[in-house]
Structure formats: C-alpha cells, structure tokens
Amino acid sequence: MKSFDVTILGGGFAGGLLAWVLAKQGVRVLLLHRGRFGQFAIGESSTPMADLLLRQIGGRYDLPELVSLSTYPSWKASFPNLRCGKKRGFSYFHHDASDASQPCGKQSLLVTASPSDRWSDTHWMRSDIDQYLIDRARDCGASCMEEVEVVAVTAGTPAEIRYRTGPDDNARVESVSTRWLVNATGRFGVLPDEFAKAIGRKDVTKRLRTQTRSTLAHLHDVRSWSSLREQFGFKIGREPFDADDAAQHHLTADGWMWMLRFDGHDRGGITSVGWTQPIARPVADWRGRSALHAMMDGAKLAESTPSWISIPRVQRMQLPVVLENYVALPTAVATTDPLHSTGIAHGLLGVARLAEVILAADGESDDVLRQYSDAVELEVLQIDRMVAMAYQSLQSMKRFEAISMLYFAAAIASEEWLAGGGDLRRALWLADQPGFVDLLSQTERQLDADVPDETLWDWLEPRLDPYQNAGLLNREANGMYWYTGQAKQSASSS
C-alpha cells in the first residue's frame, strides 16, 4: 500500500493551495477530488485579509506566484490567462421600492479596501484559479486525482483510505495510508458514513443565526451600474472608486443582490450575480426594483452556469474541526454567507495555520490543533453573528451602514494583527475579545428593541471607537469611506 504524509480530500482553491504549499516543502501529498478539477465554483470575491494572507503564505513558503496573485495589477501582469476582475472595495446601493422620494439605488455606501488601483483586490474566476493551484501542486510533486470517490476511511495513525477511481465499468479500488487527513471538501463535503460516525461528526447548523437562501449564476451582458446611475440622472459627487470595480451589493428590504464584474464584462464578458435573502421572508428577487431590472434586462446565462443555481439554505456547520490526525479547513467546517465575503480569507487562514502545524516537528501539534479548533469555531460563530445583524438591518441604508461597521472594524483589526506578524493561532475577527463580543450582544439587543437609526448611530459610535482607528461610522463621511485598508498600507510600505 502506498503511504503519504498528508491526504487532502477536496480540490477547490483551499485544498489545491495546501497541497502546493506542502508539496513545495517536500511533504508527500495525495489530493483526492470528487469532481473534475477547475469546474465552476462560487466564492469569488477576495478581500484585503485574503490578499494579505496570500502574500504571507507566498513569502513564507517561497511561492512568489502567490504574491503576484495578491493584487489585481500584479495578477494581470503575471497571469493574463487567469480570469479575474478588479475590486477596489465594497459598494452598496439601497433600492427602496416603498420610498418614492428616494430613486431606486440612489442611497449608497462605498467602503474602500485599497488606497489605489495598485493595491486592488480581485474577483477570482474560481475555475481558473482552482485549476492553476492544482497544476502548481502537481509541479511540486503532489499526486492530485480527480473523479475519485472515497469509499472508506479507517481512523488511526496512520489512517487508511480506500477510494474508487476510473469509469464505472472499469473502476479500480485502491488503498493508501496517510499520517494526516485534511478535510478540504467545502460546502458539498460528504465523508463516508462509517468514518463520519467514527469521528463523531455532527451537524451543528442550528448554532448559526443567519438563515438565508441564494440563487446565483454567471451572466453575459449585465449592464454597468456606474453608467446606469448617470443615465438615471443621479448626482454623483466625488467617489473613492468606480462603483463597478467592487463587490457590488444591491440592498432591498427583502434581500440583496451581488454583482462581481470580471474583466471584459462591459464587452459581453462575465458578471457573477446572486440574490440572497432571509429564508423567513417571502421569496423575492430583483424584478420589482426598476434599477435592478434595467441592469439585468438583456443579460444571458453564461456557459459556466447553463441555469440558475439555487441553494435553499446557505449556512451549514459540522464538527469536529479536529480529531487526532483528522483536521478540517474552516471552509469545510462551515459556510456562513456571501455577505461580507469571508470564505476565501477563512479558507486561506486555514491553509496558513494547517501548513504550520503539519510542517512542525511531530509531537508539537496537539496544543496547536486544539487552539486551531477553538479559533475556527469562535470565528465561524462571530462572523455569523455579524452577518445575521446585517440582515436584520436591511430596511435602511443608514442602519445597514452602522451595523456593517462592526464587521469592518473586526476585519481591519484582524488585518492589522496579521500585517504586524501576529500569531496565527489567535482567533481573528475579534472573536476572542470579550469586550467586542459583548458589544455584539448589546447591539443585538438594540436591534431587537428596534431603536431608530439615529439613536443606533449615537449609541454605537462611542462603543465602536476602542476597536477601530480607520474612521468608521462617521456621519461626515456621507457613506464614502475613502480609505479603510490600514493593514495593506503598512504591509506595502514595509
């Protein structure tokens, strides 16, 4: 029987990258993937935290390609064939059908993530980047197999894995032994029943407060929101970045729509579009909103998604994170929500942490794995709380702005921690800060009491101040946050 140091189940970006990092360090890696490599995958909008992690992993493990992938201009210069889009920040537009005094989409919030195009983040065409990472892992000696069905796993050190490969009429079953088993199966992860039972795997989705459904697709010919705004006669003052060069969020009281534009979207290229809404609300979409309808009018499904994909419940969470030599990446443990785009950063954080653990000398891993498990659990629950509150605030832009600033404060604090070389074992998103966690509880009570927007701002402003120095929650900003990416600036100047 062949033996490996590490077997990774799942060949999305997180599994592929971990395989590459480890193989580059001389680790014997087997990656088993259920589908074909480089197929359509969702989770496309990167963030400052994700790009910082790419740079750090690239620097630490001598993978300069990752550093190039960490900003839009260097990605385009180094990898013109890997499709991506420019992301200068997060743009939000409120489409309030009930208020005739506010034209649909007029109220806006723009939160800058990078000080200039030079440091732009990217939208990832996942099929391209996922395949690229697998190719690099193979170049470094990782054995990456697609269309594999894992039929049995026997826990232990080493663990034994049996998998089926090849066409149905000529399938082969093979066995390997492995020191580490990494679950990188993402949101579709299924483990063989016996093994799931042996590790006591349980579904704990009910611990998550956010409850949303999502419908999504890749489309050609989605119209530019920037040009439609001009056409609608909106008086647009100076803005920190073009609203299309962003993770664009179109908010309504019922739900919201993302638009992520890939390069060439204005010449018939692809825009990723998704509608996400709380499950408790009646099923809705963009059609009742004139501005959204105008943008979508004439848009056609792309080949990558021949029909709309529906996810009846986005959230899921499964434990354990760790058991002996079994470890799950954060993105295999839980899916929270597209709002705030946390998945890529959390996946990369998992890769960075697990690479450290696996590459450390044997015998040093138990405590670190326990810390890893605690951190992942705390982070998932923290992100979920902040997202759930944002959904509770969809009815007005003012309210949504106030509540979203809790998230931005937590994300920026984490970026600063990482940029300063902070310990990766610590829980990020301020999930281990009792004061901030308590502030979330207090804010939830304010929302439950339905305090007016102005009162919420007055209440939250001084309480958020100790956790941020990026000028968040500022009335004078008029919804235009010119530069909030502190960590990126300090990382870039060092």
Ligand X SMILES: Cc1cc2nc3c(=O)[nH]c(=O)nc-3n(C[C@H](O)[C@H](O)[C@H](O)COP(=O)(O)OP(=O)(O)OC[C@H]3O[C@@H](n4cnc5c(N)ncnc54)[C@H](O)[C@@H]3O)c2cc1C
Q: Which stretch binds ligand X (CB under 6 A): 4-12, 19-27, 62-70, 475-483?
A: 4-12
Dihedral of alpha carbons 269, 483, 383, 129, sign: positive
By C-alpha distance, which of 379, 13, 15, 343 is closest to 180? 15
In the three-class reduction of DSSP (H, G, I as helix; E, B as strand; rest coil), residue 43 is classed as coil
150 lies in the site for ligand X, by CB under 6 A = yes
Angle, to 10 degrees, between the axis of helix 48-60 and the axis of helix 486-493?
30
Considering the rule CB under 6 A, would residue 57 count as an interface residue with ligand X? no
**Quick check: 33 binds ligand X (CB under 6 A)?**
yes
Please give the biggest Cα pair distance in the chain: 72
Q: Of 2 and 475, which has the nearer Cβ to ligand X?
A: 2
42 sits near ligand X (criterion: CB under 6 A): yes
CB-based burial label for 67 (10 Å; 0-12, 13-18, 19+): middle
Residues 221-260 that bind ligand X (CB under 6 A): none
**DSSP labels, 258-299:** EEEEPTTGGGT-EEEEEEEEETTSPP--GGG-HHHHHHHTT-
Nearer to ligand X, 314 or 397 (CB): 314
User: Judged by CB under 6 A, which of 89, 115, 158, 347 binds ligand X?
Assistant: 347
* DSSP of 311-346: ES---EEEE-SEETTEEE-HHHHEE--TTTT-HHHH
With respect to ligand X, which residue has the nearer C-beta, 42 or 378?
A: 42
The DSSP call for residue 140 is T
Given a contact cutoff of 8 angstroms between Cβ atoms, the answer to whether 122 and 246 are in contact is no
Q: Does 15 bind ligand X (CB under 6 A)?
A: yes
- Contact, 255 vs 196, CB < 8 A? no
Q: Does 343 bind ligand X (CB under 6 A)?
A: yes
Q: Which stretch binds ligand X (CB under 6 A): 8-16, 22-30, 401-409, 415-423?
A: 8-16
- State the Cα–Cα distance between residues 111 and 138, nearest whole angstrom: 39
The residue whose Cβ lies closest to ligand X is: 186
220 binds ligand X (CB under 6 A): no
Edge-to-edge order in the sheet of strand 202-203:
202-203, 316-319, 334-335
Instruction: Phi first, then psi: give them for residue 429, nearest 5 degrees.
Output: 55, 30
Cα of first residue to Cα of last residue in the chain, in angstroms, is 48
344 binds ligand X (CB under 6 A): yes
Q: Choose, by CB under 6 A, the member of 216, 357, 369, 419 that binds ligand X.
A: 216
Smallest distance, Å, CB 223 to ligand X? 21
Q: Which of 114, 131, 252, 341 binds ligand X (CB under 6 A)?
A: 341
Of these, 13, 75, 256, 429, which contacts ligand X (CB under 6 A)?
Answer: 13
The phi, psi pair for 207, rounded to 5°, reads: -75, -15
Contact range with ligand X by CB under 6 A, out of 37-45, 52-60, 76-84, 291-299: 37-45
> Which of the ranges 67-75, 336-344, 392-400, 401-409 carries the binding residues for ligand X, by CB under 6 A?
336-344
Q: Is 314 in the site for ligand X (CB under 6 A)?
A: yes
The dihedral sign for the CA sequence 120, 126, 131, 134? positive
9 forms part of the interface with ligand X (CB under 6 A) = yes
Residue 474 CB coordination number (10 Å): 15
Least distance from ligand X to the Cβ atom of residue 457, Å: 28
For the four alpha carbons of 60, 65, 69 and 74, in that order, the dihedral sign comes to: positive
User: Is position 48 an interface residue for ligand X (rule: CB under 6 A)?
Assistant: no
Q: What is the DSSP letter of 224?
A: P
Q: Give the shortest CB-309-to-ligand X separation in angstroms.
A: 8
Please choose, out of 32-40, 367-375, 456-464, 479-487, the segment that lies near ligand X by the rule CB under 6 A.
Answer: 32-40
Task: Output 11 or 58, the one with its CB closest to ligand X.
Answer: 11
When the beta carbons of 16 and 439 are compared against ligand X, the nearer one is 16
Pull the structure tokens for residue 397. 């832009």
Q: How far is the CB of 233 from ligand X (least distance, A)?
A: 31
Query: Residue from 115, 255, 274, 485 that binds ligand X (CB under 6 A)?
Result: 274
Q: Is 278 an interacting residue with respect to ligand X (CB under 6 A)?
A: no
- Please give the Cα distance from 355 to 24 (Å, whole number): 11
Choosing from 68, 331, 382, 404, the residue that interacts with ligand X (CB under 6 A) is 331
Nearer Cβ to ligand X, position 9 or 402?
9
- For residue 463, state whether it binds ligand X (rule: CB under 6 A): no
> In the set 4, 5, 6, 12, which binds ligand X (CB under 6 A)?
12
Size of the site for ligand X (CB under 6 A): 39
Whether the bond into 80 is cis, omega within 30 of 0: no
Choice between 105 and 189, CB closer to ligand X: 189
Stretch that binds ligand X, among 73-81, 299-307, 329-337, 393-401 (CB under 6 A): 329-337
Q: Does 35 bind ligand X (CB under 6 A)?
A: yes
Apex CA 190: angle with CA 184 and CA 191, to 5°? 85
Residue 173 binds ligand X (CB under 6 A): no
Please report whether residue 207 would count as binding ligand X according to CB under 6 A. no
**Which residues share a beta bridge with 216?**
274, 309
Q: Which chain residues interact with ligand X by CB under 6 A?
A: 9-15, 32-35, 41-45, 150, 184-191, 214, 216, 274, 311, 314, 329, 331, 335, 338, 341-344, 347
